Structure 1
Amino acid sequence: MSLTEYFLLTIGLVTTEWLHLRLARRYAFFEKLTERSMHQHTTTVRAGGFIFYLAALAAIWRDDNLVYFCLGLTALALISFWDDLADLPKRYRIVAQVLAVGLLLVQEGLLVSPWYVAIVVLLAGVGALNAYNFMDGINGMTAFYSLVTVGTLWFVEGAVMGTTAALFPCVLIALAVFSYVNARPRAMCFAGDVGSISVGFIVLYGIVECISRSHSWLPVLFTAVYGADSLLTILYRLYLRQNIVQAHRLHLYQELVNVRGWPHLGVSALYAVVQLGINGLVIVAMNKPPMVQMLVAGGVIGCLSTGYVLARLQLKKDTKKRVGFSKPTRL
């Protein structure tokens, strides 16, 4: 795409987002306060991240090589936007996610692998989409983290793999537009399922493409920070004997806001900056010998896991202090 086309896309996305905000406020299309909501405002607009899908569509509508990816992304965007409107049963969303990830595997030619490998990748992809969906919990998280991740994928695509497609720069423009209305102390809108699932699918495609072309598994670490938070939080909830499929506010980033009182944007920026540092390390190590790559992966996973555990222990102490201060004194 030319600079003129990128400029026109930016104007189109800004106009579309503005119209969405106006219409959503007129028809009371606001975020619902749920068990995992970290905001208390009842006039925050839903589904502002639908522009991620529009940006991706603008980038690939003339690309015959991404037909299956486009079909999968469209299926996810439609079912997710419907879910934002009417709260669909989980089974419909899961079917759409399995279909979309299956189409992604067809796009990347991974269905020729042994069937059990394809099933593992399929399940991992569906799990990754659902984990990415939960990122929309605090102001700026989807915006900042996705800007870092998609920006890294764009850099790797050009500098490491030598290709120049329009998908990632178009999505970056959409993320920048969305950041203006989301990354603020009081968000004007959230991405919604249509936004977080769509950008999660785009990130998943980019990571699979990087792995396929570089013949290295290190690009998995491009979502290491949030991936560690999600996986370790699942283990933590199992330890607490909770139902892991129910909505919650126990992600570490949510606890930092809820227990420590950190600002939303500060926590979101912290996650993005740490992920940016990891991405730089991964890019440097991608062409190193396998042993070096294993050491890098082990070091990143070990540091993130240790940091998570230490943060949990500190949060537990803070919670006990708060409970202790709230107890009435005996006369």
Structure 2
Amino acid sequence: MMYLAVFLVLFVLELIYFKIADRFNIIDKPNHRSAHTEITLRGGGIVFPIAFLLFFITSVWSKLVHLPLHDQAAENHNYLIFGVGLLLLCIISFLDDLYDLSSKIRIVFHIISVSFLLAFLNAFVLLPIWAIPVLYIVIIGILNAYNFMDGINGITGLYSLVALLSLLYVNENLINFVAHDFIIYPILGCLVFLFFNFRKKAKCFMGDIGSMGIAFWVVALIGLLMMKTGEIKWILFLAVYGVEVISTILERLKLKENIFEAHRRHLYQLLANEKKISHLIVSTLYAAVQLIINAVVIFSNLPQIVSFVIVLLPALIFYLYTKLTIKKQITLNNN
């Protein structure tokens, strides 16, 4: 009953945000690089920082009235530290949605937010000093990769839902590494957002506030799991996005393009824009492939290096083959 109530609160607050966004013209206008053709409300991903606030409020309330916790892991983490990092990141991302801030301002806030995340993970204490700068680079890279991939209806909402459900399964059945509700609340946020976004004509887009916010939350959960188990294989829960973004960046570097400028070289863009495949089908395909990978990671019980090989190698081959095939078809059609 509590989760239904939270879902309904998030749903209503999302509708209220739509009124505000419409009133203040917070919209996404399509351009020649866009995968959509109609003006759409931006910033629907505001549901994720709101979901955290609800999580934090209910957690504090539970302690005040001495309600039993769902699991022992609920007491092992300072969720306020995470929340400060999340809210700072979401605020600067929302301002970037509105005013297109300079990259220097964004990176400063990204570093500050990631610092809170690393403190939440207790990384400054548990990890060697040389690992810290590496983590800053990796985490900021993942946050921006999530943002790069959020280009068609439903893709990041579905993809994040698959990651969160996989993490929930691990937490409930394999190893309890975090409070149960810390995974449930972003799942509810995804469901609310997808109700408005996973449709042919989306009611709203995530905006940077959404893609950055949910990425921050997913990275935090994967980080907690990795710290708890001492295994890095859980990063494969983001394998599809990782293969896509790294391959596309390398391609653009080869072509001497500015990797920070908008483009239409991602595979999902080619599928949606050039092949005219439904956004919903493409998004579902990405989520389904990641779900299969997650199942392999969870149930195979293979050595970590083997897990990386059997996941990343086929994924990379499939990605490159599919992209090359589509490009050849496009070239033939143009000739």
Shared fold, TM over 0.5: yes
- Residue of structure 2 equivalent to 1:142: 156
1:29 matched to 2:42: no
- Residue of structure 2 equivalent to 1:217: 232
- Residue of structure 1 equivalent to 2:70: none
Distance in structure 2 (CA, Å) of the matches to 1:24 and 1:75? 20
Distance in structure 2 (CA, Å) of the matches to 1:38 and 1:125? 27
Aligned mate of 2:255, from 214, 230, 240: 240
Unaligned runs of 5+ in 2: 61-76
**Residues 59-74 of structure 1: pairs in structure 2 closer than 5 A:** 59-61=55-57, 62=59, 65-74=78-87
Q: Which amino acid in 2 is paired with 1:226?
A: Y
Distance in structure 2 (CA, Å) of the matches to 1:302 and 1:20? 43
1:39 matched to 2:36: yes
Distance in structure 2 (CA, Å) of the matches to 1:35 and 1:151? 35
**Residues 62-101 of structure 1: pairs in structure 2 closer than 5 A:** 62=59, 65-101=78-114
Distance in structure 1 (CA, Å) of the matches to 2:144 and 2:203? 24
SS at match of 1:321: helix
- Residue of structure 2 equivalent to 1:105: 118
SS at match of 2:28: coil
- Residue of structure 1 equivalent to 2:16: 19
Distance in structure 1 (CA, Å) of the matches to 2:24 and 2:83? 30
Q: What's the offset of the Cα at 1:273?
A: 0.4
Q: Which amino acid in 2 is paired with 1:95?
A: V
SS at match of 1:213: helix
Q: What's the offset of the Cα at 1:8?
A: 2.1
> Does the 8 A contact of 2:271 with 2:277 survive in 1?
yes
- Residue of structure 2 equivalent to 1:206: 221
> Does the 8 A contact of 1:60 with 1:167 survive in 2?
no
Q: Which amino acid in 1 is paired with 2:294?
A: N
SS at match of 1:115: coil
SS at match of 2:238: helix
1:50 matched to 2:69: no
- Residue of structure 1 equivalent to 2:308: 297
Q: Which amino acid in 1 is paired with 2:239?
A: A
Q: Which amino acid in 1 is paired with 2:190?
A: L
Unaligned runs of 5+ in 1: 325-331
Q: Which amino acid in 1 is paired with 2:134?
A: V
Q: Which amino acid in 1 is paired with 2:163?
A: T
Name the TM-score, length of structure 2 as normaliser: 0.90
Q: Which amino acid in 1 is paired with 2:48?
A: F
Distance in structure 1 (CA, Å) of the matches to 2:167 and 2:83? 18
Q: What's the offset of the Cα at 1:35?
A: 5.7
Q: What's the offset of the Cα at 1:245?
A: 1.5
| 1:106-158 Cα shifts (integer Å, max 9, x gaps) | 11121232322110011100000000112220001011111101111122122
Name the TM-score, length of structure 1 as normaliser: 0.91
Identity of aligned residues (%): 36
SS at match of 1:137: coil
Q: What's the offset of the Cα at 1:197?
A: 0.4
Mean alpha-carbon deviation: is it higher for 111-120 or for 54-63? Answer: 54-63
Q: What's the offset of the Cα at 1:283?
A: 0.8
- Residue of structure 1 equivalent to 2:147: 133
Q: Which amino acid in 2 is paired with 1:132?
A: Y
| 1:165-206 Cα shifts (integer Å, max 9, x gaps) | 312111111111111110001111001111110000000001
User: CA RMSD, aligned part only?
Assistant: 1.5
> Does the 8 A contact of 2:43 with 2:204 survive in 1?
yes
> Does the 8 A contact of 1:35 with 1:247 survive in 2?
no
The total of aligned residue pairs comes to 316
Mean alpha-carbon deviation: is it higher for 219-228 or for 313-322? Answer: 313-322
Distance in structure 2 (CA, Å) of the matches to 1:114 and 1:216? 16
Distance in structure 1 (CA, Å) of the matches to 2:171 and 2:112? 26
Mean alpha-carbon deviation: is it higher for 189-198 or for 146-155? Answer: 146-155
> Does the 8 A contact of 1:52 with 1:171 survive in 2?
yes
User: Deviating runs (4+, > 4 A) in structure 1?
Assistant: none
Distance in structure 1 (CA, Å) of the matches to 2:327 and 2:78? 51
Distance in structure 2 (CA, Å) of the matches to 1:307 and 1:152? 23
> Does the 8 A contact of 2:222 with 2:234 survive in 1?
yes
Distance in structure 2 (CA, Å) of the matches to 1:74 and 1:254? 30
**Residues 146-225 of structure 1: pairs in structure 2 closer than 5 A:** 146-162=160-176, 163-225=178-240
**Residues 112-127 of structure 1: pairs in structure 2 closer than 5 A:** 112=125, 113-127=127-141
Mean alpha-carbon deviation: is it higher for 172-181 or for 64-73? Answer: 64-73
> Does the 8 A contact of 1:158 with 1:164 survive in 2?
no
Distance in structure 1 (CA, Å) of the matches to 2:267 and 2:244? 6
Q: Which amino acid in 1 is paired with 2:161?
A: L
Distance in structure 2 (CA, Å) of the matches to 1:171 and 1:144? 12
Q: What's the offset of the Cα at 1:254?
A: 0.9
Q: Which amino acid in 1 is paired with 2:330?
A: T
